[in-house]
Amino acid sequence: MTAMLEVDDLRVAYGNILAVKGISFRVEQGQVVTLIGGNGAGKTTTLRTLSGLLHPVGGQIRFKGRRIDGMAAHKIVELGIAHSPEGRHIFPRMTIEENLLLGAYLRRDGAAIEQDVRRAYELFPVLGERRRQAAGTLSGGEQQMLAMGRAMMSRPELLMLDEPSMGLSPIMMQKIMETVAALKESGTTILLVEQNAQAALNLADRGYVLETGRIVLEDHGQALLGNDQVRKAYLGED
């Protein structure tokens, strides 16, 4: 059976510097798959390439069996991939609700959009309570909820999250990870990029460890949690 997402020998460069050096991985339908790795490993570059914001210099990307490398970003959203970017990129002067609706910009099904906005408010009540306020007034963790809510507004089959826990308190981080688990339960397939390897691997069906543009380890999430190399490099143990 073909995986929902198949990445094969992907190479991505900035100018003549290769940042992603031939990586291959798969995401099966219904799974949470995580890419972990330190600063500059190539995680964000990989996600930006999957969403069509960067074009690879080599390799192939298939989503539901169809080549998407080189496709325009809006086409990729239409096919069912959504991206909650690193650093959130919410629009601070627009209201929370306006930010959410931006995630549905390709949809024309008004009633269903309203229903999905309500669902986002159920998932994150604080967004509903403050829906008419400027998004810039939200705390960091709340902005992360908004970024995730906005990504869900395209009704993605595959949701890509780039460091959703970055800069959050342990409690907020736990809340975000619980939400990722709830989204998985509701049938969304998730590709999760995290520096917090512990949290990500706890949740993930499968994990890939990225170092300077290469995959150096891959296994089930739980197996990687028990791996010595991972424990030393990413879980701060010696």
For ligand ATP, the binding residues (CB under 6 A) are 14, 19, 37, 39-45, 86, 195
CB-nearer residue toward ligand ATP: 50 or 151: 50
CB-nearer residue toward ligand ATP: 175 or 214: 214
The helix/strand/coil state of 193 is: strand
Q: How far is CA 227 from CA 64, 85, 127, 163, 237, in A?
A: 31, 29, 39, 22, 11
Draw the binding track, 34-73, toward Mg ion (x: CB under 5 A; -: no contact).
---------xx-----------------------------
Q: Which does 156 bind (CB under 5 to 8 A by kind): Mg ion, ligand ATP, none?
A: none
Distance, C-alpha 80 to centroid of its chain: 13
Q: Which does 219 bind (CB under 5 to 8 A by kind): ligand ATP, Mg ion, none?
A: none
Q: How far is the CB of 148 from ligand ATP (least distance, A)?
A: 17
Q: Which does 227 bind (CB under 5 to 8 A by kind): Mg ion, ligand ATP, none?
A: none
Q: How far is the CB of 233 from ligand ATP (least distance, A)?
A: 13
- Quick check: 158 and 82 in contact, CB under 8 A? yes
The residue to which tokens 């969403």 are assigned: 51
**Binding segment for Mg ion among 78-86, 95-103, 139-147, 219-227 (CB under 5 A)?**
78-86
Q: How far is the CB of 216 from Mg ion (least distance, A)?
A: 17
Q: How far is the CB of 109 from ligand ATP (least distance, A)?
A: 34
Q: How far is the CB of 39 from Mg ion (least distance, A)?
A: 8
List all residues 6 or more positions away from 22 whose beta carbon is below 8 Å from its beta carbon.
Answer: 9, 10, 11, 58, 59, 214
Q: How far is the CB of 94 from ligand ATP (least distance, A)?
A: 25
CB-nearer residue toward ligand ATP: 59 or 80: 59
H helices present in the chain, as ranges: 43-50, 73-79, 96-102, 110-123, 125-129, 140-152, 170-185, 197-203, 221-225, 228-234
Query: How many CB atoms are closer than 10 A to CB 8?
Result: 15
List all residues 6 or more positions away from 105 whose beta carbon is below 8 Å from its beta carbon.
Answer: none
Q: Is the dihedral of CA 101, 107, 110, 113 positive or negative?
A: negative
Q: Is 86 in the site for Mg ion (CB under 5 A)?
A: yes
CB-nearer residue toward ligand ATP: 113 or 217: 217
Query: Which residues form the interface with Mg ion (CB under 5 A)?
Result: 43-44, 86
